[in-house]
Amino acid sequence: MLPEEFLLRMKTLLGAQYIDFLQAMEGERSYGLRLNPLKAEQFTAPDDFGLRPVPWARDGFYYDPDARPGRHPYYEAGVYYIQEPSAMAVGALANVQPGMRVLDLCAAPGGKTTHLAGQMQGQGILIANEIHPARAKILAQSVERAGVHNCMVTNETPQRLAQRFPAYFDCIVVDAPCSGEGMFRKEQIAVQEWTPESPEKCAARQDEILDCAAHMLRADGRLVYSTCTFAPEEDEGSVQRFLDRHPDWQVQAMPDIPWFAPGHPEWTPHGSQDLKNTFRLFPHLLEGEGHFVAVLRRTGGQDCQPKLAQPLSEREIPQEYRAWERAFLYVKFERLTRCGDVLWVLPEGLPDGAGLRVLRQGLELGTCKKGRFEPAHALALALQPSQAVHRLSLCADGEEIVRYLRGETLPCAGGEGWTLVDVDGYTVGWGKVSGGVLKNHYPKGLRWK
């Protein structure tokens, strides 16, 4: 049951399109996944996935919900991310490039972050932030699964980040907290939590977040603002209020996208005609949920370079790690840093995160424990199978990969010690071989029941 106040407003706004909109909202939703180019340059999907391209997202596909790709070994290996098709429009319009400095300001659960990371191809700096601690952990897990190594994950307020990173980023994505009307068909809880006052309350919060984002963008940078709601106060209204407060900004005109409707200046007081260059995604016009996206460009401003994180010198690197690396890897990692007993690989040019709540700072290598080193799950997911001295290759349709994901031991005739496990060439975790048996090191919190 959709809220009556919501339906009355949409009937007024949509006019003749309202019946089609209502039928779509009462119909079946679409399901999507997005391939991870950091892992899946060549990917052959199982036949039962029933993949069809999402036309506005290069790596996006619709899938048959009966296939349950989130319960497949390829998902655990980070080969793809389960993402609602309309949500893929944000990353597609951001279209970031390798080498850029990018911020995903409201990033959990990680769909847009991993989309941006795939476009960056491991080059440049990506900071993904989430203000809520529990959701920030989910975000960090998504980054880890995708094998991203040039990302810092933070659990901060937009205000504290704005103080630290003035005029720093080339592109900022703000997928703002909103009233969630576009998710009514997808999530019943969105309907239950909605009230007639929700759009106004959310709009005030969006104004604060956008002002913080504006402070962090360099001259001529781009800000991609999005919501998953239909409420004009939070969509065209948020953009217009932002432009009123920031006269050195403008809505960037983008090429027409056939499935997206233009924004509606007439739906907000004093709306400028530039709002027609924003995008609305309606479920009666495409296969996806409700979304709004605007690309804003700063026409003035300055650039700023914050203090950079400094790696350890070679003599400061724990020798137990270098010994482990020589024994079990064909690759040598540089630019290491240490946080307690945990070793990380710092991306080139990563800002110093001191004083911030940082969950991840690049690639986690593992933990030094009383004269020995234990590799992190993140390292396994970031490696190629050929980079490990010992590997155990399993098949996605075999019983052994299911046993591994359940945390069971497996027979392994390879060399002794740490062994990288992959499924059809996609790394999925670690094991440790002794006497022909692989002891399972797949994280307990991720194991299949």
**What digits encode the pLDDT tens for the residues 91-131?**
999 999 999 999 999 999 999 999 999 999 999 999 999 99
Q: Is the pLDDT of residue 303 over 90?
A: no
| In contact, 345 and 362? CB cutoff 8 Å | yes
Residue predicted with more confidence, 302 or 341: 341
Q: State if pTM tops 0.85.
A: yes
Residue 301 in this model has a pLDDT that exceeds 80: no
What confidence tier does 305 reach under pLDDT thresholds 50, 70, 90? Answer: confident
The separation between CA 327 and the C-alpha centre of its own chain, rounded to angstroms, equals 34
Calculate mean pLDDT across residues 23-47.
93
pLDDT at residue number 41: 77
pLDDT > 90? residue 414: no
Does the pLDDT at position 336 exceed 90? yes
Query: What DSSP designation does 311 have?
Result: P
Q: How many CB atoms lie within 10 A of CB 27?
A: 11
User: How far apart, in whole angstroms, are the C-alpha atoms of residue 255 and residue 376?
Assistant: 43
| 204-261 pLDDT per residue, tens | 999 999 999 999 999 999 999 999 999 999 999 999 999 999 999 999 999 999 999 9
pLDDT of 360 higher than 80: yes
Q: What percent of the chain has pLDDT over 90?
A: 95
Give the Cα separation of 380 and 265 in Å (integer). 49
Residue 365 confidence (pLDDT) above 80: yes
Residue type, 63: Y
Average pLDDT over residues 385-396: 97
Q: Which long-range contacts (CB under 8 A, 24 or more apart) does 409-414 make?
A: 409/437, 409/438, 409/439, 409/440, 410/437, 410/438, 410/440, 411/436, 411/437, 411/438, 412/436, 412/437, 412/438, 414/390
Bridge partners of residue 426, in order along the sequence: 423
Instruction: Choose, from 202, 228, 368, 412, the residue flagged as catalytic.
Output: 228
pLDDT at 363: 98
Task: Reply yes or no on whether the pLDDT at 43 is more than 80.
Answer: yes
CA-wise closest residue to 54 among 286, 219, 323: 286
- What values do phi and psi take at 232, rounded to 5? -60, -30
What DSSP character marks residue 266?
Answer: G
Long-range CB contact pairs, 192-195, < 8 A, 24+: 194/3, 194/6
Convert the pLDDT of each residue in 415-447 to its tens digit. Answer: 999 999 999 999 999 999 999 999 999 999 999
pLDDT class of 300 with cuts at 50, 70, 90: confident
> Is position 151 annotated as part of the catalytic site?
no
Reported as a single tens digit per residue, the pLDDT across 177-220 is 999 999 999 999 999 999 999 999 999 999 999 999 999 999 99
| Confidence (pLDDT) at 335 | 97
Q: Which two tokens stand for residue 272?
A: 């400028």
Strands 60-62 and 410-411: unpaired
Angle between helix axes 18-25 and 4-14 (nearest 10 degrees) is: 140
Separation CA 263–CA 278 (nearest Å): 5
